[in-house]
Amino acid sequence: MFDAHTRILNARLSRRRAAALGAGAAGLGIAGNPLGFHLHAQERSTINLASNASDPAPRERLAGQIENFNASQDQYTVEINTTAHEDFKQAIRTYLASDSPPDVLTWFAGNRMRFFSNNNLLMPLDDLYTENGWDTTLPEGIRAVSNGDDGSYYFVPTSYYAWAVWYRPSVFEEIGVEPPTTWDEFLAVVDAASDAGKVPITIGTQMPWTAAAWFDYFNMRVNGPEFHISLMDGKEAYNSEDVKNAFGPWRELLDRNAFIPQPEAYAWQDALTPLVQGDAAMYLMGRFLYDSFPDDSQDDLDFFQFPIIDEGVPVGEDAPTDGYFASVNAPNPEGAKALLSYLGSAESQTWNVEQAGDPAVHPDVSLDLYNDATRRSVEMLQEADYIAQFYDRDTHPDLAERGMSAFIEFWNTPDDLDAILDRLDEDRKRVYESDS
Protein backbone atom coordinates (compact mmCIF):
# COMPACT_ATOMS: atom_id res chain seq x y z
CA MET A 1 0.00 0.00 0.00
CA PHE A 2 2.76 2.39 1.00
CA ASP A 3 4.72 1.57 -2.12
CA ALA A 4 1.77 2.42 -4.29
CA HIS A 5 1.55 5.78 -2.56
CA THR A 6 5.21 6.45 -3.13
CA ARG A 7 4.87 5.62 -6.74
CA ILE A 8 1.95 7.99 -7.08
CA LEU A 9 3.91 10.72 -5.32
CA ASN A 10 6.95 10.09 -7.47
CA ALA A 11 4.82 10.09 -10.56
CA ARG A 12 3.29 13.37 -9.50
CA LEU A 13 6.67 14.90 -8.87
CA SER A 14 8.11 13.70 -12.10
CA ARG A 15 5.09 14.96 -14.01
CA ARG A 16 5.64 18.40 -12.52
CA ARG A 17 9.30 18.13 -13.23
CA ALA A 18 8.56 17.21 -16.82
CA ALA A 19 6.21 20.17 -17.09
CA ALA A 20 8.87 22.48 -15.67
CA LEU A 21 11.47 21.14 -18.07
CA GLY A 22 9.05 21.40 -20.94
CA ALA A 23 8.35 25.03 -20.11
CA GLY A 24 12.08 25.67 -19.83
CA ALA A 25 12.67 24.02 -23.15
CA ALA A 26 9.97 26.07 -24.80
CA GLY A 27 11.50 29.24 -23.41
CA LEU A 28 14.93 28.33 -24.65
CA GLY A 29 13.56 27.33 -28.03
CA ILE A 30 12.08 30.78 -28.44
CA ALA A 31 15.44 32.24 -27.47
CA GLY A 32 16.89 30.35 -30.40
CA ASN A 33 19.04 27.95 -28.45
CA PRO A 34 17.74 24.46 -29.12
CA LEU A 35 20.93 22.90 -27.72
CA GLY A 36 20.31 24.58 -24.39
CA PHE A 37 17.36 22.34 -23.68
CA HIS A 38 19.50 19.28 -24.15
CA LEU A 39 22.22 20.46 -21.80
CA HIS A 40 19.71 21.73 -19.31
CA ALA A 41 17.93 18.39 -19.10
CA GLN A 42 21.13 16.45 -18.56
CA GLU A 43 22.64 18.72 -15.96
CA ARG A 44 20.33 17.63 -13.18
CA SER A 45 21.73 14.68 -11.26
CA THR A 46 19.59 12.53 -9.01
CA ILE A 47 19.73 12.56 -5.22
CA ASN A 48 18.13 9.53 -3.58
CA LEU A 49 16.34 10.26 -0.34
CA ALA A 50 15.24 7.27 1.74
CA SER A 51 12.40 8.35 3.99
CA ASN A 52 10.57 6.83 6.96
CA ALA A 53 7.81 9.46 6.79
CA SER A 54 5.08 6.96 5.96
CA ASP A 55 2.13 8.57 7.80
CA PRO A 56 0.07 10.68 5.40
CA ALA A 57 0.63 14.13 6.92
CA PRO A 58 4.44 13.99 7.41
CA ARG A 59 4.75 12.32 4.03
CA GLU A 60 3.01 15.12 2.24
CA ARG A 61 5.05 17.73 4.09
CA LEU A 62 8.29 16.07 3.04
CA ALA A 63 7.10 15.78 -0.56
CA GLY A 64 6.30 19.49 -0.52
CA GLN A 65 9.67 20.38 0.95
CA ILE A 66 11.43 18.34 -1.72
CA GLU A 67 9.35 20.00 -4.44
CA ASN A 68 10.57 23.34 -3.10
CA PHE A 69 14.16 22.11 -3.16
CA ASN A 70 13.85 20.84 -6.72
CA ALA A 71 12.45 24.20 -7.78
CA SER A 72 15.06 26.21 -5.86
CA GLN A 73 18.05 25.03 -7.91
CA ASP A 74 18.74 23.43 -11.27
CA GLN A 75 21.55 20.99 -10.47
CA TYR A 76 19.77 18.20 -8.65
CA THR A 77 16.51 16.29 -8.63
CA VAL A 78 15.51 14.43 -5.49
CA GLU A 79 13.78 11.06 -5.66
CA ILE A 80 11.98 10.06 -2.45
CA ASN A 81 11.68 6.40 -1.50
CA THR A 82 9.34 5.93 1.43
CA THR A 83 9.39 2.86 3.67
CA ALA A 84 6.86 2.22 6.46
CA HIS A 85 8.18 3.74 9.67
CA GLU A 86 8.75 0.49 11.60
CA ASP A 87 10.15 -1.39 8.60
CA PHE A 88 12.55 1.44 7.90
CA LYS A 89 14.29 0.79 11.21
CA GLN A 90 15.25 -2.65 9.95
CA ALA A 91 15.85 -1.78 6.32
CA ILE A 92 18.24 1.09 7.03
CA ARG A 93 21.11 -1.31 7.82
CA THR A 94 20.83 -2.94 4.46
CA TYR A 95 20.54 0.47 2.80
CA LEU A 96 23.65 1.87 4.46
CA ALA A 97 25.79 -1.23 4.05
CA SER A 98 24.91 -1.74 0.37
CA ASP A 99 27.18 -0.81 -2.52
CA SER A 100 24.87 1.89 -3.78
CA PRO A 101 23.29 3.38 -0.66
CA PRO A 102 20.71 6.18 -0.77
CA ASP A 103 22.42 9.57 -0.63
CA VAL A 104 20.38 11.02 2.20
CA LEU A 105 18.25 9.24 4.82
CA THR A 106 15.80 10.25 7.52
CA TRP A 107 16.85 9.19 11.02
CA PHE A 108 16.94 9.94 14.75
CA ALA A 109 19.51 11.96 16.68
CA GLY A 110 21.63 10.57 19.51
CA ASN A 111 22.61 6.97 20.13
CA ARG A 112 20.52 5.60 17.28
CA MET A 113 22.62 7.70 14.89
CA ARG A 114 25.94 7.00 16.66
CA PHE A 115 25.61 3.29 16.04
CA PHE A 116 26.08 4.01 12.34
CA SER A 117 28.73 6.72 12.74
CA ASN A 118 30.78 4.36 14.92
CA ASN A 119 30.61 1.82 12.12
CA ASN A 120 31.95 4.41 9.64
CA LEU A 121 28.79 4.38 7.54
CA LEU A 122 28.01 8.11 7.74
CA MET A 123 29.44 11.11 5.96
CA PRO A 124 31.19 13.57 8.31
CA LEU A 125 29.46 16.95 8.02
CA ASP A 126 31.84 19.28 9.89
CA ASP A 127 32.40 21.47 6.80
CA LEU A 128 28.65 21.75 6.31
CA TYR A 129 28.23 22.85 9.93
CA THR A 130 30.89 25.59 9.56
CA GLU A 131 29.57 26.75 6.18
CA ASN A 132 26.02 27.12 7.50
CA GLY A 133 27.08 28.36 10.92
CA TRP A 134 25.17 25.55 12.61
CA ASP A 135 28.15 24.88 14.90
CA THR A 136 27.33 28.13 16.67
CA THR A 137 23.65 28.83 15.98
CA LEU A 138 22.06 25.49 16.89
CA PRO A 139 21.17 25.10 20.59
CA GLU A 140 23.81 23.23 22.55
CA GLY A 141 21.50 20.41 23.59
CA ILE A 142 20.63 19.77 19.95
CA ARG A 143 24.26 19.82 18.82
CA ALA A 144 25.09 17.33 21.60
CA VAL A 145 22.88 14.71 19.93
CA SER A 146 24.13 15.46 16.37
CA ASN A 147 27.78 14.54 16.75
CA GLY A 148 29.43 11.14 16.85
CA ASP A 149 31.57 9.70 19.60
CA ASP A 150 34.62 11.01 17.69
CA GLY A 151 33.36 14.61 17.97
CA SER A 152 32.55 15.11 14.27
CA TYR A 153 29.05 16.10 13.20
CA TYR A 154 27.15 13.42 11.27
CA PHE A 155 23.54 14.46 11.63
CA VAL A 156 21.44 17.42 10.49
CA PRO A 157 18.64 17.88 13.04
CA THR A 158 15.51 19.51 11.68
CA SER A 159 12.67 19.11 14.15
CA TYR A 160 11.77 17.78 17.53
CA TYR A 161 8.58 17.13 19.36
CA ALA A 162 7.71 17.28 23.02
CA TRP A 163 6.04 14.60 25.06
CA ALA A 164 3.35 15.75 27.44
CA VAL A 165 0.09 14.72 29.04
CA TRP A 166 -2.77 15.53 26.68
CA TYR A 167 -6.32 16.24 27.79
CA ARG A 168 -9.51 17.87 26.59
CA PRO A 169 -10.28 21.09 28.45
CA SER A 170 -14.01 20.40 28.09
CA VAL A 171 -13.60 17.05 29.88
CA PHE A 172 -11.53 18.62 32.66
CA GLU A 173 -14.25 21.24 33.06
CA GLU A 174 -16.90 18.54 33.20
CA ILE A 175 -15.15 16.70 36.04
CA GLY A 176 -14.17 19.97 37.71
CA VAL A 177 -10.38 19.87 37.70
CA GLU A 178 -7.49 22.07 36.56
CA PRO A 179 -4.34 20.82 34.80
CA PRO A 180 -2.11 19.52 37.64
CA THR A 181 1.52 20.50 38.21
CA THR A 182 2.45 18.32 41.18
CA TRP A 183 2.07 14.60 41.76
CA ASP A 184 -0.62 15.06 44.44
CA GLU A 185 -2.64 17.26 42.12
CA PHE A 186 -2.23 14.66 39.40
CA LEU A 187 -3.55 11.91 41.68
CA ALA A 188 -6.49 14.17 42.55
CA VAL A 189 -7.31 14.45 38.81
CA VAL A 190 -7.08 10.67 38.51
CA ASP A 191 -9.53 10.23 41.39
CA ALA A 192 -11.90 12.87 40.05
CA ALA A 193 -11.94 11.18 36.65
CA SER A 194 -12.62 7.79 38.23
CA ASP A 195 -15.44 9.24 40.29
CA ALA A 196 -16.96 10.72 37.14
CA GLY A 197 -16.97 7.25 35.58
CA LYS A 198 -14.20 8.01 33.14
CA VAL A 199 -10.97 6.17 32.45
CA PRO A 200 -8.37 8.48 34.03
CA ILE A 201 -5.51 7.59 31.65
CA THR A 202 -5.71 5.94 28.25
CA ILE A 203 -2.77 4.10 26.69
CA GLY A 204 -2.27 1.38 24.07
CA THR A 205 0.68 -0.91 24.74
CA GLN A 206 0.30 -3.30 21.83
CA MET A 207 3.60 -1.78 20.76
CA PRO A 208 5.31 -1.45 24.13
CA TRP A 209 7.14 1.86 23.54
CA THR A 210 4.13 3.78 24.82
CA ALA A 211 4.80 2.33 28.30
CA ALA A 212 8.46 3.35 28.04
CA ALA A 213 7.40 7.01 28.09
CA TRP A 214 5.98 6.49 31.57
CA PHE A 215 9.24 4.91 32.70
CA ASP A 216 11.30 7.78 31.25
CA TYR A 217 9.26 10.35 33.13
CA PHE A 218 9.05 8.48 36.44
CA ASN A 219 12.80 7.86 36.40
CA MET A 220 13.63 11.46 35.41
CA ARG A 221 11.20 12.97 37.93
CA VAL A 222 12.27 10.70 40.81
CA ASN A 223 16.00 10.21 40.15
CA GLY A 224 16.80 13.15 37.89
CA PRO A 225 17.84 13.28 34.23
CA GLU A 226 21.53 12.75 34.96
CA PHE A 227 20.85 9.41 36.61
CA HIS A 228 18.41 8.55 33.83
CA ILE A 229 20.94 9.06 31.09
CA SER A 230 23.61 7.05 32.88
CA LEU A 231 21.10 4.25 33.25
CA MET A 232 20.42 4.53 29.51
CA ASP A 233 24.16 4.30 28.83
CA GLY A 234 24.36 1.08 30.84
CA LYS A 235 26.36 2.62 33.67
CA GLU A 236 23.76 2.08 36.41
CA ALA A 237 22.16 -1.16 37.56
CA TYR A 238 18.47 -1.72 36.86
CA ASN A 239 17.96 -3.57 40.14
CA SER A 240 19.21 -0.66 42.28
CA GLU A 241 17.02 0.93 44.96
CA ASP A 242 16.92 4.13 42.88
CA VAL A 243 15.31 2.44 39.90
CA LYS A 244 12.90 0.57 42.18
CA ASN A 245 11.87 3.92 43.68
CA ALA A 246 11.02 5.15 40.18
CA PHE A 247 8.41 2.40 39.91
CA GLY A 248 6.77 3.62 43.15
CA PRO A 249 4.47 6.26 41.62
CA TRP A 250 3.75 3.90 38.70
CA ARG A 251 2.58 1.29 41.20
CA GLU A 252 0.42 3.95 42.84
CA LEU A 253 -1.37 4.53 39.53
CA LEU A 254 -1.82 0.81 38.88
CA ASP A 255 -3.27 0.32 42.38
CA ARG A 256 -5.79 3.07 41.66
CA ASN A 257 -6.78 1.47 38.34
CA ALA A 258 -5.78 4.73 36.73
CA PHE A 259 -5.07 3.17 33.32
CA ILE A 260 -7.50 1.85 30.73
CA PRO A 261 -8.11 -1.90 31.24
CA GLN A 262 -6.21 -4.28 28.93
CA PRO A 263 -3.99 -1.69 27.27
CA GLU A 264 -2.17 -4.49 25.39
CA ALA A 265 -5.25 -4.88 23.23
CA TYR A 266 -4.80 -1.43 21.67
CA ALA A 267 -2.36 0.23 19.32
CA TRP A 268 -1.58 3.81 20.35
CA GLN A 269 -4.01 5.14 17.73
CA ASP A 270 -6.80 2.90 19.05
CA ALA A 271 -6.20 4.25 22.55
CA LEU A 272 -6.80 7.77 21.24
CA THR A 273 -10.48 7.03 20.60
CA PRO A 274 -11.58 7.17 24.28
CA LEU A 275 -9.83 10.54 24.62
CA VAL A 276 -11.54 11.89 21.50
CA GLN A 277 -14.91 10.60 22.67
CA GLY A 278 -14.49 12.05 26.15
CA ASP A 279 -14.46 8.63 27.88
CA ALA A 280 -10.86 9.02 29.01
CA ALA A 281 -9.31 12.04 30.67
CA MET A 282 -5.57 11.97 29.91
CA TYR A 283 -3.01 10.53 27.51
CA LEU A 284 0.80 10.71 27.81
CA MET A 285 1.93 10.97 24.19
CA GLY A 286 4.20 12.81 21.78
CA ARG A 287 3.10 15.86 19.82
CA PHE A 288 2.47 13.65 16.78
CA LEU A 289 -0.85 12.84 18.44
CA TYR A 290 -2.08 16.03 16.75
CA ASP A 291 -1.76 14.41 13.32
CA SER A 292 -4.16 11.63 14.32
CA PHE A 293 -6.64 13.78 16.25
CA PRO A 294 -9.80 14.69 14.29
CA ASP A 295 -9.41 18.17 12.84
CA ASP A 296 -12.76 19.44 14.12
CA SER A 297 -11.87 18.59 17.74
CA GLN A 298 -8.36 20.02 17.77
CA ASP A 299 -9.50 23.23 19.46
CA ASP A 300 -10.55 21.10 22.40
CA LEU A 301 -7.13 19.49 22.90
CA ASP A 302 -4.43 20.76 25.21
CA PHE A 303 -1.50 19.44 27.21
CA PHE A 304 0.29 19.92 30.50
CA GLN A 305 3.86 19.13 31.52
CA PHE A 306 4.34 15.75 33.18
CA PRO A 307 3.79 16.55 36.89
CA ILE A 308 6.78 17.28 39.13
CA ILE A 309 7.22 14.53 41.72
CA ASP A 310 10.28 15.81 43.61
CA GLU A 311 10.83 19.60 43.71
CA GLY A 312 14.56 19.18 44.32
CA VAL A 313 15.25 17.22 41.14
CA PRO A 314 16.27 18.94 37.85
CA VAL A 315 13.60 18.76 35.17
CA GLY A 316 14.15 16.50 32.18
CA GLU A 317 11.80 16.19 29.22
CA ASP A 318 11.51 13.67 26.41
CA ALA A 319 11.87 15.43 23.06
CA PRO A 320 12.99 13.07 20.31
CA THR A 321 14.90 14.94 17.62
CA ASP A 322 14.51 13.94 13.98
CA GLY A 323 16.63 14.85 11.02
CA TYR A 324 18.78 13.56 8.19
CA PHE A 325 22.20 12.16 7.49
CA ALA A 326 24.17 11.06 4.42
CA SER A 327 25.83 7.73 3.61
CA VAL A 328 29.61 7.80 3.60
CA ASN A 329 29.45 6.09 0.17
CA ALA A 330 26.72 8.34 -1.23
CA PRO A 331 26.76 8.07 -5.06
CA ASN A 332 26.05 11.81 -5.23
CA PRO A 333 28.00 13.33 -2.29
CA GLU A 334 27.75 16.93 -3.55
CA GLY A 335 24.02 16.55 -4.03
CA ALA A 336 23.67 15.00 -0.59
CA LYS A 337 25.37 18.00 1.00
CA ALA A 338 23.29 20.45 -1.01
CA LEU A 339 20.10 18.74 0.11
CA LEU A 340 21.24 18.59 3.75
CA SER A 341 22.11 22.30 3.67
CA TYR A 342 18.63 23.02 2.41
CA LEU A 343 16.87 20.78 4.95
CA GLY A 344 18.89 22.30 7.80
CA SER A 345 18.14 25.88 6.76
CA ALA A 346 15.77 28.19 8.58
CA GLU A 347 13.94 28.75 5.29
CA SER A 348 12.96 25.12 4.72
CA GLN A 349 12.19 24.54 8.40
CA THR A 350 9.98 27.61 8.46
CA TRP A 351 8.03 26.21 5.53
CA ASN A 352 7.66 22.90 7.37
CA VAL A 353 6.37 24.62 10.50
CA GLU A 354 3.88 26.58 8.40
CA GLN A 355 2.48 23.25 7.18
CA ALA A 356 1.85 22.28 10.84
CA GLY A 357 5.01 20.19 11.06
CA ASP A 358 6.92 19.52 14.28
CA PRO A 359 8.71 22.46 15.95
CA ALA A 360 11.93 23.38 14.14
CA VAL A 361 15.34 23.16 15.79
CA HIS A 362 16.78 26.13 13.87
CA PRO A 363 16.74 29.15 16.21
CA ASP A 364 15.90 31.57 13.37
CA VAL A 365 12.48 29.99 12.89
CA SER A 366 10.09 32.48 14.48
CA LEU A 367 8.13 31.34 17.55
CA ASP A 368 5.17 33.38 16.24
CA LEU A 369 4.56 30.72 13.60
CA TYR A 370 3.36 28.23 16.19
CA ASN A 371 -0.10 27.98 17.56
CA ASP A 372 -0.53 28.64 21.24
CA ALA A 373 -0.13 25.05 22.40
CA THR A 374 2.95 24.36 20.30
CA ARG A 375 4.62 27.58 21.40
CA ARG A 376 4.06 26.57 24.99
CA SER A 377 5.60 23.15 24.27
CA VAL A 378 8.68 24.77 22.70
CA GLU A 379 8.98 27.07 25.71
CA MET A 380 8.63 24.06 28.02
CA LEU A 381 11.55 22.39 26.24
CA GLN A 382 13.64 25.57 26.35
CA GLU A 383 13.11 25.80 30.12
CA ALA A 384 13.95 22.12 30.74
CA ASP A 385 17.30 21.30 32.34
CA TYR A 386 17.80 18.30 30.09
CA ILE A 387 16.32 16.96 26.85
CA ALA A 388 16.19 13.16 26.56
CA GLN A 389 15.58 11.43 23.25
CA PHE A 390 13.15 8.74 24.49
CA TYR A 391 13.81 5.32 25.98
CA ASP A 392 14.29 3.29 22.81
CA ARG A 393 16.49 5.98 21.26
CA ASP A 394 18.61 6.69 24.34
CA THR A 395 19.52 3.14 25.23
CA HIS A 396 20.98 0.24 23.25
CA PRO A 397 18.35 -1.11 20.78
CA ASP A 398 18.84 -4.64 22.08
CA LEU A 399 18.31 -3.58 25.69
CA ALA A 400 15.41 -1.32 24.71
CA GLU A 401 13.46 -4.34 23.44
CA ARG A 402 14.02 -6.23 26.73
CA GLY A 403 13.37 -3.15 28.84
CA MET A 404 10.04 -2.30 27.21
CA SER A 405 8.96 -5.90 27.54
CA ALA A 406 9.91 -5.74 31.25
CA PHE A 407 7.72 -2.65 31.75
CA ILE A 408 4.72 -4.49 30.30
CA GLU A 409 5.47 -7.46 32.53
CA PHE A 410 5.56 -5.13 35.55
CA TRP A 411 2.24 -3.71 34.38
CA ASN A 412 0.70 -7.21 34.50
CA THR A 413 2.44 -8.50 37.63
CA PRO A 414 3.56 -5.49 39.70
CA ASP A 415 4.45 -7.72 42.66
CA ASP A 416 7.24 -9.36 40.68
CA LEU A 417 9.11 -6.07 40.21
CA ASP A 418 12.32 -7.24 41.94
CA ALA A 419 12.63 -10.39 39.86
CA ILE A 420 11.81 -8.48 36.65
CA LEU A 421 14.50 -5.87 37.34
CA ASP A 422 17.07 -8.54 38.28
CA ARG A 423 16.53 -10.20 34.92
CA LEU A 424 16.65 -6.87 33.07
CA ASP A 425 19.94 -6.09 34.76
CA GLU A 426 21.39 -9.39 33.53
CA ASP A 427 20.47 -8.25 30.04
CA ARG A 428 22.06 -4.85 30.64
CA LYS A 429 25.34 -6.48 31.71
CA ARG A 430 25.33 -8.74 28.68
CA VAL A 431 24.55 -5.96 26.19
CA TYR A 432 27.09 -3.47 27.51
CA GLU A 433 29.84 -6.01 28.19
CA SER A 434 29.63 -7.44 24.68
CA ASP A 435 29.83 -3.93 23.30
CA SER A 436 32.93 -2.74 25.13
Q: Which residues bind another protein (CB under 8 A)?
A: 89-90, 93, 96-97, 119, 121, 205-208, 261-266, 270, 397-398, 401, 405-406, 408-409, 412, 423, 430, 434
Phi, psi of 275, rounded to the nearest 5 degrees = -70, -45
Q: What angle do CA 286, 367, 154 make, to 5 degrees?
A: 65
Distance of CA 242 to the CA centre of its chain: 28
Closer Cβ to another protein, 136 or 412, answer by number: 412
Torsion angle of alpha carbons 206, 207, 208, 213, nearest 10°?
-110
CB of residue 7 vs another protein: minimum separation in angstroms?
20
d(CA 306, CA 302): 13
CB of residue 434 vs another protein: minimum separation in angstroms?
7
CB of residue 215 vs another protein: minimum separation in angstroms?
14
CB of residue 423 vs another protein: minimum separation in angstroms?
7
Closer Cβ to another protein, 37 or 115, answer by number: 115
Closer Cβ to another protein, 42 or 94, answer by number: 94
Closer Cβ to another protein, 120 or 371, answer by number: 120
CB of residue 41 vs another protein: minimum separation in angstroms?
38
d(CA 245, CA 240): 9
Nearest residue to 223 (alpha-carbon basis) of 236, 234, 211, 213: 236
d(CA 214, CA 295): 27
Residue 194, C-beta contacts closer than 8 angstroms, at least 6 positions apart? 200, 256, 257, 258
Closer Cβ to another protein, 363 or 397, answer by number: 397
Number of C-beta neighbours around residue 181 at 10 A: 13
Closer Cβ to another protein, 126 or 270, answer by number: 270
CB of residue 199 vs another protein: minimum separation in angstroms?
12
| CA distances in angstroms from 127 to 48, 130, 134, 318, 334, listed in the order given | 21, 5, 10, 30, 12
